[in-house]
Structure 1
Amino acid sequence: MTMTLFEQHQLPCILESRLSKRYQTLIMEHMTVNSSNAPGVKSLRHHTQSWASTQATWRFYHNEDVTFPMLSGPMLGLARSGVKESQSRYVLMAHDWCHINFAKHHSKLDKTKMSHALDVGYELQASLLVDANTGAPIAPAGLNLLTSNGIYQCRSQELQPKQSHLDSLFDSIHWQEQLHLDKPLVHVVDREADSAKDLRRLGSVHWLTRTKKGSTFRHEGQFKTAEIISRTISPDLKGVISLRGKEGYLFVGETTVELHRKSEKLASAAPTCRFVMSLVTDDEGKELARWYLLSNVLDVDATEIATWYCHRWNIESWFKLLKSDGHQLEKWQQTTAESILKRLITASVATTLIFKLYSDSSDEANEFKGFLVKLSGSFN
């Protein structure tokens, strides 16, 4: 008897049998999309059955018995197994935001204005697990979609009230910590989390963020900007790294600062954290990137902290995969944010299975890779 997709990967799914079968078909279809057909995904059926398949997909995404948590079960199952298989002592949870522009989609009535009047659609906040040793993506472990009416979350079926970026992020972080994955998490956020007050809220949760050069901290008894603090550090060459697909030379140095802004009055002593200056140059010494990093992870080398931050770019690549290089997200024809998020969860499971397939060199995996290439229409 042929095993189903979920059985092959030992993934949990509490959808009733008929809906589970449809869900697995949709996941397979999202593993074969390309730029010309992504808005409607490539049906695995004969072309004469395509319309019936489209109708079945519409019914699935509008079925009240298909909830966000139910759809997220296989995604979180992949996250759990991926973390368990990782050889890293820590696993990174990269967080970021992405604007999904649907300005030309007049049927979507729950769009929200984002950066300007023409930038309307939905805002996606996503969390991607990344292997701390290799930088390889493991699986998404959190999806929030901001609309004009509120926030849809993969972990709850109910529409949530709007929140600030950091409040929404920290709610996600605390939920992810309660997943009790096999290894401790380090939550990696860009400069969005450059707030001493908010970082103190995280308590014992492990975090890594980038700070602005003008942000102040208490260092050696005085308040100084990050830029001035960095001048007291002599970074050492640590080796060659990959940054957004390009190689560069990594220089790293560190000191300790207190999470206390000059403008703040605190009733008690502020916690300390690591201040890591990271510099990347090309082979001619031209500066490619300079980061002032903060982290409360104490038992790893500063070079590892800097390398972890470099791994954060994986979530940007994942957004690119969703929007342009594979799934063509901004062309999707679903008319509500609820349906869009359901399809996003479906696509997330598909991309995670591709991640696993890419790293698997077994004969069975290579055979399936060839099948997907033929199915995509890339080659005759």
Structure 2
Amino acid sequence: MTLFEQHQLPCILESRLSKRYQTLIMEHMTVNSSNAPGVKSLRHHTQSWASTQATWRFYHNEDVTFPMLSGPMLGLARSGVKESQSRYVLMAYDWCHINFAKHHSKLDKTKMSHALDVGYELQASLLVDANTGAPIAPAGLNLLTSNGIYQCRSQELQPKQSHLDSLFDSIHWQEQLHLDKPLVHVVDREADSAKDLRRLGSVHWLTRTKKGSTFRHEGQFKTAEIISRTISPDLKGVISLRGKEGYLFVGETTVELHRKSEKLASAAPTCRFVMSLVTDDEGKELARWYLLSNVLDVDATEIATWYCHRWNIESWFKLLKSDGHQLEKWQQTTAESILKRLITASVATTLIFKLYSDSLDEANEFKGFLVKLSGRLTKRTKPVTQPSLLAGLWVFLQMCEVLDTYTMDEINAMRQIASSFFAQSV
């Protein structure tokens, strides 16, 4: 049974394209070095140049569209949500700059924060298990260019939008996916707008607000920082935050989504205001969050824990960039090709996260085997990491390809050649 059959990876491409796409996904199950940004060849040990040409033809095929490439990714999202034991599923959002300042062949780059920060801006939506915090699969990828926005759900280039307008479009589209469980859309301070939060209506959301943002509390307009002083947070237990453990304190109250500068014709809706504090063993503050949410049927501690889980989208970005696929070194010359390859890499990373979260004995044994193959040094406290699984899986796939391509007699003959070569050099 192949990796695709094992995870019931759906393929909606034409039959003449599906095998190439499956090969491309497997070729992205590897950790690239910064000086090897191209696609590594796997199938039948073809030369890297031939594999690169085949990849170029695939991405420039007019039948290969964003929605078609996204089919397996959304299929993994649906199956992952169905397998989740949590009542809700989190949809975490974040933006990531992809710097291509030194890539002069890319003519559709856009200026992001400053003159040297030039490239594309990626807005990603990642499904996260509400109980464990484990990433399930991406459910949306948008790429901002100088010409407009490319979206994984549409082949047409979309006009530029503000972050919030793009975010709300993504939320409304993902609500119509009709996944097996209700979504809670988790956003950082980007969504700190009372007016825009009211636009979401009955959609479940969770966001962090700035300490200086004002809300109506107990009949008066107060800042989030002042509101938090009226709350006495209780110790709820130990929580993992960015790889470190800390003590979680949580308290809550109710506020109205009404800013002091606004004049409303009717009463503003209310929402929960959750103050979350994380400290170390010595009482030093590690994090303090002022959270807003309209999810009413869970404990405030769960709300705080959900926001901690949002940070796992950073691990996904890291696997795409510095610790995995070296995204900022890719040589494709257009944002359209970059997004197509990004969708392909996202399917590969989704399968890696799925394997990483699998706690069955057989999976644990396989993960230990892959870490050995990877040659990576890992901490005793964390013997398995996603980059080590990526690196080890690539070696294993190459081993399988060798066994499928060569007979044992041919392998033993080459082994004799290698042995004689090393014997001469000693």
CA distance in 1, matches of 2:22, 2:235: 48
Structure 1 unaligned residues grouped into runs of 5+: none
CA distance 1:133–1:99, shift in 2 (3 Å): same
CA distance 1:288–1:374, shift in 2 (3 Å): closer
CA distance in 2, matches of 1:379, 1:259: 76
CA distance in 2, matches of 1:200, 1:378: 76
The 10-residue stretch of structure 1 (225-234 or 13-22) with the greater mean CA deviation from structure 2: 13-22
CA distance in 1, matches of 2:425, 2:169: 45
Displacement of 1:13 in angstroms is 2.2
CA distance in 2, matches of 1:336, 1:67: 15
Secondary structure of residue in 2 paired with 1:378? helix
Contact 1:31–1:372, Cα closer than 8 Å, also in 2: no
Deviation string 1:199-237 (CA, Å, 9 cap, x unpaired) is 000000000000000000000000000011001000000
Which one has the largest radius of gyration?
2
Contact 2:39–2:51, Cα closer than 8 Å, also in 1: no
Deviation string 1:319-361 (CA, Å, 9 cap, x unpaired) is 1111100010000000000000001100110011111112235
CA distance in 2, matches of 1:302, 1:148: 42
Contact 2:31–2:323, Cα closer than 8 Å, also in 1: no
CA distance 1:185–1:327, shift in 2 (3 Å): same
Which stretches of structure 1, 4 residues or more, deviate above 3 A after TM superposition?
A: 3-8, 45-48, 361-380
CA distance in 2, matches of 1:28, 1:379: 36
Secondary structure of residue in 1 paired with 2:37? helix
Secondary structure of residue in 2 paired with 1:200? helix
The 10-residue stretch of structure 1 (354-363 or 263-272) with the greater mean CA deviation from structure 2: 354-363
Displacement of 1:47 in angstroms is 5.6
Secondary structure of residue in 1 paired with 2:61? coil
CA distance in 1, matches of 2:229, 2:343: 45
Displacement of 1:362 in angstroms is 5.0
Secondary structure of residue in 2 paired with 1:261? coil
CA distance 1:90–1:252, shift in 2 (3 Å): same
CA distance in 2, matches of 1:295, 1:87: 22
CA distance in 2, matches of 1:42, 1:266: 58
The 10-residue stretch of structure 1 (353-362 or 11-20) with the greater mean CA deviation from structure 2: 353-362
Secondary structure of residue in 2 paired with 1:192? helix
CA distance 1:87–1:241, shift in 2 (3 Å): same
Displacement of 1:7 in angstroms is 3.6
Q: Cα RMSD (Å) of the superposition?
A: 2.9
CA distance in 1, matches of 2:242, 2:365: 30
Displacement of 1:12 in angstroms is 2.6
CA distance 1:306–1:48, shift in 2 (3 Å): closer
CA distance 1:27–1:206, shift in 2 (3 Å): same
Deviation string 1:84-125 (CA, Å, 9 cap, x unpaired) is 000101000000000000000000000000000110000000
CA distance 1:295–1:379, shift in 2 (3 Å): farther
Displacement of 1:54 in angstroms is 1.0
Displacement of 1:5 in angstroms is 4.8
Q: In structure 1, what is the equivalent of residue 240 of structure 2?
A: 242
CA distance 1:151–1:122, shift in 2 (3 Å): same
Contact 2:134–2:357, Cα closer than 8 Å, also in 1: no
CA distance 1:220–1:322, shift in 2 (3 Å): same
The 10-residue stretch of structure 1 (37-46 or 91-100) with the greater mean CA deviation from structure 2: 37-46
Q: In structure 2, what is the equivalent of residue 378 of structure 1?
A: 424
Choose which of 332, 335, 340 in structure 1 pairs with 2:333: 335
Contact 1:147–1:337, Cα closer than 8 Å, also in 2: yes
CA distance 1:378–1:110, shift in 2 (3 Å): farther
Contact 2:188–2:208, Cα closer than 8 Å, also in 1: yes
Displacement of 1:254 in angstroms is 0.3
Contact 1:11–1:73, Cα closer than 8 Å, also in 2: no
Choose which of 80, 92, 95 in structure 2 pairs with 1:94: 92
Displacement of 1:369 in angstroms is 4.6
CA distance 1:116–1:133, shift in 2 (3 Å): same
Secondary structure of residue in 1 paired with 2:425? coil
Contact 2:250–2:275, Cα closer than 8 Å, also in 1: yes
CA distance 1:373–1:230, shift in 2 (3 Å): closer
Deviation string 1:145-191 (CA, Å, 9 cap, x unpaired) is 00000000000000000000000000000000000001100000000
CA distance in 1, matches of 2:18, 2:4: 9
Deviation string 1:5-29 (CA, Å, 9 cap, x unpaired) is 5443223322111211011001111
Secondary structure of residue in 1 paired with 2:150? strand
Displacement of 1:368 in angstroms is 5.9
Contact 2:88–2:130, Cα closer than 8 Å, also in 1: yes
Q: In structure 2, what is the equivalent of residue 64 of structure 1?
A: 62
Secondary structure of residue in 2 paired with 1:162? coil
Count of residues in Structure 1 that have an aligned counterpart in Structure 2: 378
CA distance in 1, matches of 2:239, 2:362: 32
Secondary structure of residue in 1 paired with 2:339? helix
% of aligned pairs identical? 98
